[in-house]
A and B are shown apart, each in its own frame.
Chain A
């Protein structure tokens, strides 16, 4: 399988008062057509910055300190702004967390989808083409939906429309940042189902960024776990959930209220805080919170390859 999107040794930092915040540190990832990659981690781990870099929508102040984001071989970060805009939407599209703020409240859904599609290819902006796409994402009565305003739709329906908008140009990569976080559990199940169905009909790669372990388990083929800007563990979803090798992955899986037996009384928590990203240690960033940390963890961490498609950033992964 050849990668449609690959991130190579990417490092991104933000200039902040008093230093330089390292949001993404030496991340290497790839996703192939037909594959769903999950990027999992807690707030502040750099997953959203990484997602923004994948679609080249980094906020002002972010600096690419090194590395590349290659979309079918082209380094997106080195393109001119016009070329970037052409690629965005057509080759790589994004679904955001909040389906309300993704739309302009004073324009109809049909108008917004037409503007979006028309900017790339006027033929796809025809109402019939737009309605067909809305039908594909499970909107009942798609023709009527085109005439509606965003506030007239429920959260789940708006998220479906957002997915339809992202798929209009048949992108090579669809990136979804917390696509179900703002939804009820019933809508979340339906959106998971929709994204899973799309895999068979959509000839591209899907990247799901979330802190929700359940969404990752339901949807992804491969998972990258991020901590303090680094991918600390990567592997097939089953291996990662059933045979986690990094202490952080283990701790994260153990403290999910959804897996802990309610009769046990107390929930395990990960003590301590995420490290200050402006003053990172030379060694393992998780060591201060790790129950297996030893003296050697203060030294730069080697990447272990415990099996095909797996990697672990931990001194003790081999032991």
Chain B
């Protein structure tokens, strides 16, 4: 089966500024990823890990320096490719209210993709009502303006608009950021229902690990623009192979006062991409770093079925199930 989204060795550089300077700053390095129809993949990492840059690159909002991308087997290279791609895929933005134009009604906003892409729109009112019903909003919402919506409603309107052209791929940037827990549950349930009913593929960008556990089949962990671990979500959370993944999981506050952590799982901050550390870029924050890690950069290697990690001392998993075929 062709992947809905296929990325091979995608890299993004940014110009380092300075007049006539040709220096480029690498932001993303050699990202390879395939997402099948109906599959949900989460990109996780701290701020500055390159998660949002990758999503922007896929949408054609950020030029790619090297590597190939394809949607449904059709390559993404020219502006026309991206225009086609934006009809087949949609993006849910982090700040749902800010992504909706304040002067337009919800009904107009959710049918706007038809106008932008020159698609026929015979009956805007019925279309708007159907889209709202799909995300569980009453038809009366169509006459409201964005400022009259609650956070959860705005998020649903964002989803309705993303679904307008029946996309194959939905890219969601922090879909639950800023939402209350009770509303988070509603949005996450909506995302799972839509995946089941429409066979949507998801690329979810988040640092909310609870969200990842609930909606992602596979997880990709980024650190300083490189994939440091990837694999089936349940396996990665149960037995992280990379110490960075293990630290992220341990850092998550547990909603149980009996499980308070005595020690910090991870210290320090993500280093600047202007000063990438030598060897393994995680070594300065790594609890198990040795001399080798300071000198030699590890490669992304197979650590188990469907699992990859970039660490000299990665925990390998032999005993796990065979149901997840190794990629590539």
Contacts and interface: CB of A to CB of B under 8 A. Distances in A.
Do the two chains bind? yes
Interface in A176-192: 181, 184-190, 192
A189 B266 contact: yes
Interface string B258-277: 11110011110100000000
A60 B29 CA distance: 51
B182 interface: yes
Contact of A267 (B150, B189, B261): B189
A258 B269 contact: no
A203 interface: no
A292 interface: no
Interface string A123-140: 000000000000000000
Interface string B168-199: 00000000101011111110110010000000
A186 B151 CA distance: 26
Nearest to A289: B182
A189 B251 CA distance: 6
A212 B234 contact: no
B255 A241 contact: yes
Contacts of B259: 217
A24 B250 CA distance: 37
Interface in A245-273: 251-253, 255-260, 262, 265-270, 273
Interface in A148-195: 154-157, 181, 184-190, 192-193
Contacts of A192: 253
B187 to A, nearest CB: 9
A193 B151 CA distance: 30
A69 interface: no
B182 A251 contact: yes
B247 interface: yes
Contact of A185 (B151, B213, B252): B252
Nearest to A188: B253
Interface size class of B (residues with CB under 8 A): 35 or more
A23 to B, nearest CB: 16
Nearest to B260: A218
A210 to B, nearest CB: 10
B321 interface: no
Contacts of B261: 189, 218
Nearest to A260: B214
Given A184-B207, A238-B258, A262-B213, A214 B180 contact: no
B248 interface: yes
Contact of B182 (A42, A157, A217, A258): A42
Contacts of A218: 253-254, 257, 260-261
B185 A217 contact: no
B47 A184 contact: yes
A262 B210 CA distance: 9
A38 B185 CA distance: 23
Interface string B64-103: 0000000000000000000000000000000000000000
A253 B213 CA distance: 17
B182 A269 contact: yes
A269 B185 contact: yes
Nearest to A240: B257
Nearest to A259: B255
Contact of A257 (B181, B234, B265): B181
A214 B255 contact: yes
A185 B255 contact: no
Interface residues of A, number: 46
B253 A257 contact: no
B219 to A, nearest CB: 12
Most A CB contacts (10 A, CB to CB) among B211, B248, B269 go to B269
B213 A252 contact: no
A220 B260 CA distance: 11
Contacts of B248: 185-186
A270 B253 contact: no
Given A260-B214, A266-B189, A269-B189, A189 B264 contact: yes
Contacts of A181: 178
Interface in B6-51: 46-47
B234 A241 contact: no
A217 B210 contact: no
Contacts of B266: 186, 189
Given A189-B251, A255-B185, A258-B254, A266 B210 contact: no
A237 interface: yes
B255 A262 contact: no
A186 B181 contact: no
Contacts of A64: none
Contact of A214 (B178, B185, B188, B252): B252
A217 B256 contact: yes
A257 B188 contact: yes
B134 interface: no
B3 interface: no
Given A186-B251, A217-B253, A238-B258, A257 B182 contact: no
A21 interface: no
B41 to A, nearest CB: 15
B246 to A, nearest CB: 12
A214 B192 contact: no
Most chain B CB inside 10 Å of its own CB: which residue of A181, A242, A255, A258:
A258
A104 interface: no
A268 B182 CA distance: 8
B213 A190 contact: no
Given A184-B46, A192-B253, A255 B264 contact: no
Shortest Cβ-Cβ A-B pairs, 5 listed: A214-B253, A267-B185, A257-B210, A42-B180, A213-B255
Given A186-B247, A211-B180, 4 more contacts: A218-B257, A257-B181, A260-B214, A269-B189
Interface of A: 42-43, 154-157, 181, 184-190, 192-193, 211-218, 220, 237-238, 241-242, 251-253, 255-260, 262, 265-270, 273
